[in-house]
């Protein structure tokens, strides 16, 4: 019963953020893309850590991988938090405005980047050398999906303004704006 009420509350709240004249979807392909990235990470963990039991590192490498994993996870959470909850992106989408300031001056997709870094950190926590390709595969999936969905929507909606933004700000890896 509580689950049904919670679901109803979330649906009714989401409707408050969507305007009739809004040109872009509020969530886009985000939830589906994040689920795929998580699934890739989970498949690699199950296959290489539990099924094949190959590639597990020992000694100092355990700590190197775990510290790296914690840093990636923390960075991912911070980037996601700023992009999703502190940037005002919901208002930009509902007002049909291209967001290019704040964290969006550093990375075009901070919410996806945050999840990607989080899953990369999780992969490192298993201290298994065969987990390294998981974050490369996730980057490739994220890049292909974003190029073929949201980037096309944004180019159609904002035209030259988005093209200029796209040429000066990295898609997935936070980096200082190009001159």
CA-based nearest residue to 104, from 118, 120, 84: 84
The mean per-residue pLDDT over the stretch 51-64 comes to 96
Mean pLDDT of the chain: 87
- For residue range 111-169, what is the model confidence (pLDDT) as tens digits? 999 999 999 999 999 999 999 999 999 999 999 999 999 999 999 999 999 999 999 99
Stretch (H or E) spanning 175: none
Q: CA 52 to CA 79: how far, in whole Å?
A: 34
Q: Where are the domains of the chain?
A: 30-168
Contact 109, 146 (CB under 8 A): yes
CA-based nearest residue to 48, from 107, 132, 165: 132
Q: CA 115 to CA 76: how far, in whole Å?
A: 6
What pTM does this model have? 0.84
């Amino acid at each position: 019963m509580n689950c049904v009420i919670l679901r109803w509350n979330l649906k009714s709240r989401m409707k408050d953020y969507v305007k009739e004249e809004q040109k872009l979807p509020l969530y886009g392909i985000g939830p589906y893309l994040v689920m795929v990235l998580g699934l890739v990470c989970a498949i690699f963990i199950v296959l290489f850590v539990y099924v094949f039991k190959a590639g597990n590192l020992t000694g100092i490498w355990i700590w190197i991988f775990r510290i790296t994993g914690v840093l990636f996870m923390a960075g991912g959470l911070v980037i996601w938090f700023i992009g999703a909850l502190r940037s005002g992106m919901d208002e930009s989408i509902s007002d049909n405005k291209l967001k290019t300031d704040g964290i969006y001056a550093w990375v075009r997709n901070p919410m996806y980047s945050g999840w990607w870094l989080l899953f990369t950190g999780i992969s490192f926590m298993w201290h298994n050398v065969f987990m390294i390709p998981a974050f490369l595969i996730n980057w490739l999936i994220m890049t292909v999906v974003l190029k073929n969905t949201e980037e096309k929507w944004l180019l159609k909606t904002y035209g030259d303004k988005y093209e200029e933004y796209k040429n000066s700000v990295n898609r997935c890896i936070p980096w200082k704006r190009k001159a």
